[in-house]
Structure 1
Amino acid sequence: MSIDFHGDILPFHFPTTTLLVDDHEKYLDSMPLLLDPTLRLRSYSSPRRALAELGSHGIRAVPGGGWMYHWKDRSSQTRELVALDIDSIHRVMFDPERFAEVSVVVVDLSMPEMDGIAFCRELANPHIGKILLTGTADDCTAIEAFNAGVIDRFIRKSDPQAIDKLQSGIRALQRRYFERVGGFVAEALALGNVRFLRDKAFQQVFRDLVGDFPAVECYLHVNPTGMLLVDERGRGRFVLVQTDEDLRAHFEIASDLGAPAALLDALREGDRLPWFGAGDGYYREDIREPEATLHPAVTVRGEHWYHLALIDDVSRFQLGKLRSYHDWLGEQDQALGA
């Protein structure tokens, strides 16, 4: 299932893994047949083993890690500045284990080794969503756990809509996972030059522009600025995003370098955006036929003015080197069948 771009645009998103924990192995075996086949499920009949496996992978508060770095701005033990290495965000797509990140656990309440509530209390990663499967007589216990914040949802196994509720719950909590782990990143970017992530007017135009592309991954990119979208087979599109300030700066650089009038007119009007496919997005004297690089643009008048162009030539991102979600799922299926 492709990304739902309603609401704030996340600075990064990719498919993740859901952990199923239930001591009834027949139930575990049936779940992959009932749920969306594009959901990656990992099943355990032993809750202690599941916890041990989660612990062995450690906690990555931000998938990919290493996006923040610190330096002292003066000789003080308490004063420290923090910066984001935004350039590294899109490089997460080259992490072959990104899809193994566990974002949701679905756990049965009644298990002899450890009950589902105790399991959820033991989870070390606070960002993981927790869905409890219960029997008809367990509502009071589940409600207490929900009110205490131990679980996020509970679903009766006997509910005729249980599978639909489970699937929608997993999808919602997967998105929330990225809202949580990327919360600091999104907040920091909203205060800087990448304000469009939370601009309501921008979000609507962005959805319309990418509506026919089944993206399962997205990553913020800078220099040039925009969002890289990747489908399950590793094919990509790029939404180039330029502000009025970006276009003015580009116009000055291009004018000083003697760029053709057509390129200068496009930068002045904002109705077409240049895409050079390499470098930082700015005009260079060695670019041949720069007029041919111009792409139709849509202007968004929100909290700020933005100009968007849809780019199909994404060769600069070297997507051929990444492991696509489709291929990764196939590898997991082969490993299970081996």
Structure 2
Amino acid sequence: MQLPVHTHPTLTVLIDDSDSFLKSLAFQLDPALARKTFHDTSAALHWLRHSTQQGETPLHVNFDTQNLPPDQCNVALDVERIWRISARAQRFATPSVLVVDYSMPQMNGLEFCQAVRDLPCKKILFTGAADEKVAVTAFNRGLIDRYIKKSDDNALDILEHEIISLQREFFLQQSDTVRDLLLLHNYQFLQDEALAAVVLELCRRHGFVEHYIFPNPGGILFFTRDGQARLMVIETERSLHTQYEMARDSDAPDSLLVALLEKRVIPYFSDADGDGMYRAGIGENWFRYCAAPAICHGREPYYWALFDVPAHQLGQPVLSYAQFLLAQARESLAA
């Protein structure tokens, strides 16, 4: 089990020519799942084409081909851009999963999936008409990711489970290239199953619905449904020793140096004018910035702690998922 570089709630798009069925299905789905419905395939195609534009990438490529051969062009990774996705008000409006009926008058479900084959959305064929052979053929051709019959027992429960599963796959797939680059540096925890299990448990316990890799200090930035931010600072023995060396070189108190050497504290020096490391002005107040670590025994020991995030760290108010769902509900009532 791997962690995506970032994840947040997204839209499930329901497409069926029966408007009454769409309203019934949308009403029965878990209200925590944001959804958008279409009973017209042309309108759905138009909307999807204009709603799946890629945002800014954290990758920068040096295309100085006049002075360098193509195989020597550099790729730089701006980790700051990953967590700043949380500032995008429309991030929750990203379509990640399509639930498509098979039998529709303008084009059938497989024709629709063929038309959006180039989009990153995951696709579920949800129908009472298509037989098993049609579904298997579509799956083998890569047109769909799942197939559910409307007549199946517990079809709605199965659908909700598959939507959540495919949303996770969506972000893992979107993260592939960036995650591979991060693994070359100080983010090996992204592929550690033990640490991933800790993250999933934290999401369950604290109600976190989105997370983003964070650079200084290294870790994961979480948000709850209501937009409360918490930072999971993740250290290794090597990175804690780096914290010790930086503190020592800045004439930190012996009490902090000993605590760092003994791995009794995780620091989060969060002052607005700081860089995440100890600085001389902190002095004996260092304990206000530290927490006792929990230890995750993965491929290597990970020392971690959760901290509240000061407002200056985020820079601007963040639209919460609860606010997005409320706006969606108001739009639905007004329609």
SS of the equivalent of 2:280 reads: coil
2:172 counterpart letter in structure 1: E
Over residues 56-77 of structure 1, what are the superposed CA-to-partner deviations in whole Å (9 max), with x where a residue is unaligned? 23432xxx32211011588234
**Is residue 2:64 matched to residue 1:69?**
no
**Is residue 2:35 matched to residue 1:44?**
no
Unaligned 5+ segments in structure 1 are: 1-6
Distance 1:102 1:211, change over 3 A: closer
**1:331 Cα offset (Å):** 0.8
8 A contact 1:15–1:217 mirrored in 2: yes
**Is residue 2:272 matched to residue 1:280?**
no
8 A contact 1:12–1:220 mirrored in 2: yes
Unaligned 5+ segments in structure 2 are: none
Distance 1:156 1:263, change over 3 A: same
State which of 280, 297, 300 in structure 2 corresponds to 1:304.
300
Distance 1:210 1:260, change over 3 A: farther
**Is residue 2:4 matched to residue 1:33?**
no
Q: How does 1:201-212 map to 2 (within 5 A)?
A: 201-208=194-201, 211-212=204-205
What residue in structure 1 maps to residue 50 of structure 2? 56
8 A contact 1:266–1:273 mirrored in 2: no
SS of the equivalent of 2:31 reads: coil
Q: How does 1:132-143 map to 2 (within 5 A)?
A: 132-135=125-128, 138-143=131-136
What residue in structure 2 maps to residue 165 of structure 1? 158
8 A contact 2:14–2:99 mirrored in 1: yes
Q: How does 1:260-275 map to 2 (within 5 A)?
A: 260-275=253-268
8 A contact 2:52–2:94 mirrored in 1: no
What residue in structure 2 maps to residue 176 of structure 1? 169
Q: How does 1:1-338 map to 2 (within 5 A)?
A: 7-60=1-54, 64-71=55-62, 75-79=67-71, 80-135=73-128, 138-208=131-201, 211-278=204-271, 279-287=274-282, 289-318=285-314, 321-338=317-334
1:71 counterpart letter in structure 2: N
Q: Distance in 2 between matches of 1:140 and 1:319?
A: 53
RMSD of aligned alpha carbons: 1.9
Q: Percent identity?
A: 35
1:69 counterpart letter in structure 2: H
Q: Size of the alignment, in residue pairs? A: 329
8 A contact 1:142–1:154 mirrored in 2: yes
**1:300 Cα offset (Å):** 3.3
SS of the equivalent of 2:205 reads: coil
SS of the equivalent of 1:216 reads: strand
Distance 1:56 1:200, change over 3 A: closer
Q: Distance in 2 between matches of 1:125 and 1:215?
A: 31
**1:292 Cα offset (Å):** 2.6
Over residues 216-271 of structure 1, what are the superposed CA-to-partner deviations in whole Å (9 max), with x where a residue is unaligned? 10001011111011011001211111122222222122112221122111211112
SS of the equivalent of 1:181 reads: helix
SS of the equivalent of 1:286 reads: helix
What residue in structure 2 maps to residue 4 of structure 1? none
Over residues 28-57 of structure 1, what are the superposed CA-to-partner deviations in whole Å (9 max), with x where a residue is unaligned? 111122110011111001111100111123
Distance 1:18 1:208, change over 3 A: closer
SS of the equivalent of 1:110 reads: coil
SS of the equivalent of 1:212 reads: helix
Distance 1:319 1:173, change over 3 A: farther
Over residues 305-333 of structure 1, what are the superposed CA-to-partner deviations in whole Å (9 max), with x where a residue is unaligned? 32111213443433860110000111111
**Which segments of structure 1 move beyond 6 Å, counting only runs of 4 or more?**
none
**1:185 Cα offset (Å):** 1.1
Q: Distance in 1 between matches of 2:201 and 2:326?
A: 31
